[in-house]
A and B are shown apart, each in its own frame.
Chain A
Amino acid sequence: MSGVLLFAGVDVGSATTKAVLVDVEGRVVAHTVIPSGGKLAAAATVVLERVLGEARVTMENVAALVSTGYGRESVSGRTKAVTEITCHARGAHTLNPAVRSVIDIGGQDSKAIALDERGGVRRFEMNDKCAAGTGRFLEVMARTLQVGLDEIGPLALSAESPARISSTCTVFAESEVISLLAQDESIPSILAGLCTAIAQRVNSLAARVGMMPEVMMTGGVAKNVGVVRGLEQAVGLPLITPEEPQIVGALGAALIARDLGARRQDATA
């Protein structure tokens, strides 16, 4: 694949680091997701090596690289760092141009974004209180209940009725879960209750931005069908979940890199 011109997007999140390569047409050539671990710069290097390996190219082929996410400033070799808000909007718009709202739930934060018809950001909100309403909340609960992260969604959907979880704080919700276990509440209804709690929490964020159809959900938590159904109920609109919800930010970053690369070529031409 020597001589081929590609553009890279690297999204360094608190839980996972993602990389996407696109070609001059904006088509996805390769993508990779790895755990972030403690060293963000190292995670960025590894994810980039992997995605380049997958596409069987080298950095020589990468005309521009845009980094995003919580560790965006620790990515070496970046052409530019762009916030995850702008990148998620761009990625979601490209996957489906009818999208006017994005709900992203990542490992450490959640955000709601209103888009214009060009995929630009009109308005956005981010959670600012604590881990409630994020992937971390689900990770803590999965550990407490000794359930795999992937099992939460299907188990929650199998519940007859959700248990009531009133706490919005991760630590207090955990002790509520322990009391529910002591009262012999079934694991599926506790999980359903947790999915409802997180959905309501994120919906208050979404309501401040104002959700217009189509609504896309991105981020790792979009893989959890329990939370997706809970959010659909809370928002009152169906949610589009992309095939790979985790890479939407990195995809947006790669597409922005493509814009930058094109501009640079214009400048040198």
Chain B
Amino acid sequence: MSSETRSPLDVFEAVCSDFYAAAREAAAHGRKIAGFLCSYAPQELAHAAGYMPVRVLGRPGGTPRADELIQPFACSFARSSFDSALADELDFLDLVVFSHTCDTMQNVADLWRRKKPEHNALIVSLPTHTQGTAARAYFRAELQRVRERIEALAGAIDDETLRSSIGLYQRHRNAMNRLYAVRREHPDHLNGRQVLSAVVSSLLMPKEEHLPLLETLVAHVETTPAGDDTGETPVPRVFVAGSVCQNMGFIAAIEEAGCAVVDDDLCMGSRQFCMEYADAADPLDALAEMYLSRRPCPAFHAPGFDPGRHLVEKARTARADGVVFLLTKFCDPWFFDYPHVNQALEDAGIPTLLVEVEQHLPVPEQFRTRIQAFFEMLAAR
């Protein structure tokens, strides 16, 4: 069926049901594919060089090949992504780009380079302290190096094309932020599962194809009249925070328990869209500025940025009744932040629930019990 006859949400859900189908199809038509393992890896550079950027997400199921090579306390995201590469499921990749967020990803990148030399693994080293002129100059030089590496594989990237790729990504982020704004106001029109499918599909489809679908969806939901207030018991509004989240089952389980997911601070969520492109004479200056001034993920530090205060503000803006931490097991950047961030929420009187999850396994029964208990707790307040 062509995408014209289906609603944007139908297309998004179909894309999420088979992560790499779009990439395989594009590759079969001769398009070069670049895989990304992090929202800090600058997709704009690969896009400008003619690649179709696609997010590597792993996939459901066991990871026996990766288990042979990496220790048990590496997260399920790294393990599953690497396992799918070792199982030759990512052979459509011509390039794969990592960024140095944690030791696990750095070492998986090194292993990937050895095991899959044909993927041309490239690792972007970001400054761990993202503020200041030294960080800016360093990252500008790193982007230049990445650009040269990509150019050596795919030919020269001209500044005009790069600006237009940056512009395309910014337009997409703007549309996504509008989608989030609608969801905050009308979670009854647009649920968490639908928003997650919009996010995840945007990482798997060509941006130029996803953007018009997304803009159609946004225009539709922005103009849908608000439902009548039926006077029913209000549904507890939940904010979800965590690392990667591509398993729709977790968000679905939160909503099945009776909560409305109204906003998030997830890697596969609002952290993809928290950047603002400022036009600059030099596109690499613009990229450096944009990536370093975004809300730092827990793997980075920005002096003056307090992740606890940030989350309290986000939860308050979303009028959240509670915050669910959906933390991928063994994600140490997040787990080191958690006690402080959780305390800030508690001090602000916002109830929280921490659940450790494995992204690539079915939703455990105990997860449902905890979420239901959290719902009962919020509903009784």
Contact = CB atoms under 8 A, between A and B. Distances in A.
A126 B376 contact: no
Contacts of B229: none
B28 interface: no
B349 to A, nearest CB: 11
B366 A121 contact: no
A84 B368 CA distance: 12
Interface in A104-124: 109, 120-124
B365 interface: yes
Given A121-B376, A123-B351, A83 B369 contact: yes
B163 to A, nearest CB: 48
A223 B43 CA distance: 60
A121 B377 contact: yes
A200 interface: no
Contact of B370 (A82, A120, A122, A126): A126
A128 B365 CA distance: 11
Contact of A85 (B355, B365, B373): B373
Most buried by A among B370, B373, B376: B373
Contacts of B356: 128
Contact of A121 (B355, B369, B373): B373
B376 A86 contact: yes
B281 interface: no
B106 interface: no
Contact of B380 (A70, A109, A120): A120
Most buried by A among B351, B355, B376: B376
Contacts of B365: 70
B161 interface: no
25 contacts: A70-B369, A82-B376, A83-B372, A83-B373, A83-B376, A85-B369, A85-B376, A86-B373, A86-B376, A86-B377, A120-B377, A120-B380, A120-B381, A121-B373, A121-B377, A121-B380, A122-B351, A122-B377, A123-B351, A124-B370, A124-B377, A126-B366, A126-B370, A128-B355, A128-B356
A85 B377 CA distance: 9
Interface string B329-371: 0000000000000000000000100011000000001100110
B373 A109 contact: no
Contact of B366 (A82, A109, A120, A123): A109
Interface string A122-139: 111010100000000000
Contacts of B366: 109, 126, 128
Contacts of B380: 86, 120-121
A86 B377 CA distance: 7
A123 B376 CA distance: 11
Contacts, number: 38
A131 to B, nearest CB: 13
Given A85-B373, A121-B373, A124-B377, 6 more contacts: A83-B369, A85-B377, A86-B376, A120-B380, A126-B366, A126-B370
A109 B369 CA distance: 12
Interface of B: 351, 355-356, 365-366, 369-370, 372-373, 376-377, 380-381
Contacts of B355: 128
Contacts of A109: 366
Nearest to B378: A121
A124 B351 contact: no
A128 B370 CA distance: 11
A109 B381 CA distance: 26
A85 B376 CA distance: 9
A123 B354 CA distance: 11
Given A123-B351, A128-B356, A84 B376 contact: no
A204 B365 CA distance: 23
A124 B373 CA distance: 9
A124 B376 CA distance: 12
A224 B365 CA distance: 28
A128 B358 CA distance: 12
Contacts of B351: 122-123
Interface in A121-168: 121-124, 126, 128
Contacts of B376: 82-83, 85-86, 121
A211 B373 CA distance: 19
Interface in A49-85: 70, 82-85
B25 to A, nearest CB: 40
Nearest to B353: A124
A262 B366 CA distance: 31
B369 A84 contact: yes
Q: Which 3 A-B pairs have the closest CB atoms?
A: A85-B373, A83-B373, A121-B377
Contacts of B372: 83
Most buried by B among A83, A84, A109, A121: A83
A85 B372 CA distance: 9
B242 to A, nearest CB: 15
A107 to B, nearest CB: 14
A128 B366 CA distance: 8
Nearest to A108: B366
A60 to B, nearest CB: 29
Interface string A225-258: 0000000000000000000000000000000000
Most buried by B among A124, A126, A128: A128
A201 to B, nearest CB: 17
B379 to A, nearest CB: 10
A162 to B, nearest CB: 30
A86 B258 CA distance: 15
A131 B377 CA distance: 26
A86 B372 CA distance: 10
A128 B368 CA distance: 13
B354 to A, nearest CB: 8
Nearest to A81: B372
Contacts of B373: 83-86, 121, 124
A126 B372 CA distance: 13
Nearest to A83: B373
Contacts of B381: 120
